Structure 1
Amino acid sequence: MHPGHGRQCARGGLPGAWRRPANLPGPADVLAACLADEHEGIRITAAIRLALRDDPRGAEVLRDCDAADQSSPYHWDLLDVWRRQTLNTTD
């Protein structure tokens, strides 16, 4: 794992990503590294963003989330993931 991934996750991504050298990890790789973050919110947000990119690496984190729980701070994002997955299976 890249030594700075934890700090990148906590800050919400790679600062200046538009000018990063080609050999640095892409956004999906940074999100995948956030799946092991100690903060639940970072793990779930990373898994949601990966799912919206059709990247299965966050599926295990999302399996434990209840999209039907409207009091969850992730309810609407999880609903977006469910919609995307539903649309992708009907195409």
Structure 2
Amino acid sequence: MTIEAIITCRMGCAACCIAPSISSPIPEMPHGKAAGERCVQLDTEGLCKIFGQPERPAVCSSLKATASMCGANASEAMAYLTELERLTV
């Protein structure tokens, strides 16, 4: 098993806050969010308003950016995460 290195998140990308479904409660989204739905906790710059806060879902806090997940740009990240979501449904 190969473990991929964690990279610095591309600020404003927000693919990980849009592409996947989240089944756990999010502030203002008590039932989580559907795949492809923008999280209400994203600000206008694509940054998480509850980053580092205790109310941030554990699934969000545990997700770490990697080169294969994030690709070269936000579009590649969205495509990768959308495909992962499709494969897990």
Task: Say whether the fold is shared (TM-score over 0.5).
Answer: no
TM-score (norm 2): 0.27
Whose radius of gyration is greater, 1 or 2? 1
Structure 1 or 2: more helix by fraction: 1
